[in-house]
Amino acid sequence: MARLSREFYAQDTLGAARRLLGKYLIRRLDGELLAGRIVETEAYVGRCDKACHAYHYRRTARTETLFAPPGTAYIYLIYGMYHCLNFVTEPEGEPAAVLLRALEPVAGAETMSRLRYGDKPLTNYRKKNFLNGPGKICRALALTRAENGLDLTGDTLFLCDSPEDAGLPPFPAPAGERVLTGPRIGVDYAEEARDFPWRFRLVKEE
């Protein structure tokens, strides 16, 4: 199965965050493949970014994963009840990662819906807000701290250019999309870094 390589993740974090738009995230769960198309990311860079957990190379039990090789999954608990999934970037030793903020569902929607809503009916509101947030994605893909440190070049959780690379049916690439950049969400405390335009979104032209 073709998937994004260690070299891809080793690039600079802003480039990775932008180039990850339109890629496909695959999660193998109990023999089933869950998949989504990446439509929103954010970059976090320990070297120079006060919003990054590993700012100024701060090394703690939690940030240890950010010092792992590029292509490692960094998953942490936030607000006591949600998880966020990141992809470790840059050469090993530079603590940095891309936060996954939104996906478009591609495969395994039934399982993801059950993981997220249980047996509650899938209303239009729920459909529209299915995977448009980091906590929602981890819930729908059954990702918790137990999966922190997973190797993204392995078989459990990985990225590819096309769903066909994972043996899934092709996904029609939406036409007329463009990349929007802007400040990141939820980092108002981060002084000058709060205004860094390090959020990337793939949106339809109006």
Report the nearest approach of DNA to the CB of residue 164 (Å).
Answer: 28
| DSSP of 55-84 | GGG---TTGGGGGSPSSBEEEEEETTTEEE
Taking CB under 7 A as the rule, does residue 127 contact DNA?
A: no
Q: Tell me the C-alpha distance between 148 and 172, whole Å.
A: 31
Short-list 129, 51, 57, CA closest to 93? 57
Ramachandran category for residue 167: left, alpha or beta (phi over 0 → left; psi -120 to 50 → alpha):
left
Report the nearest approach of DNA to the CB of residue 161 (Å).
Answer: 23
Among 6, 19, 28, 62, binds DNA (CB under 7 A): 62
Among 67, 76, 196, 198, binds DNA (CB under 7 A): 76
∠ CA 41-204-174 to the nearest 5 degrees?
Answer: 90
Amino acid in the structure at residue 127: K
- Of 36 and 134, nearer to DNA (C-beta) is 134
Among 82, 109, 165, 168, binds DNA (CB under 7 A): 82
Report the nearest approach of DNA to the CB of residue 27 (Å).
Answer: 16
Residues that bind DNA (CB under 7 A): 42, 44, 51-54, 58, 60-63, 66, 74, 76-82, 84, 86, 97, 99, 116, 129, 133-137, 145, 184-187, 189
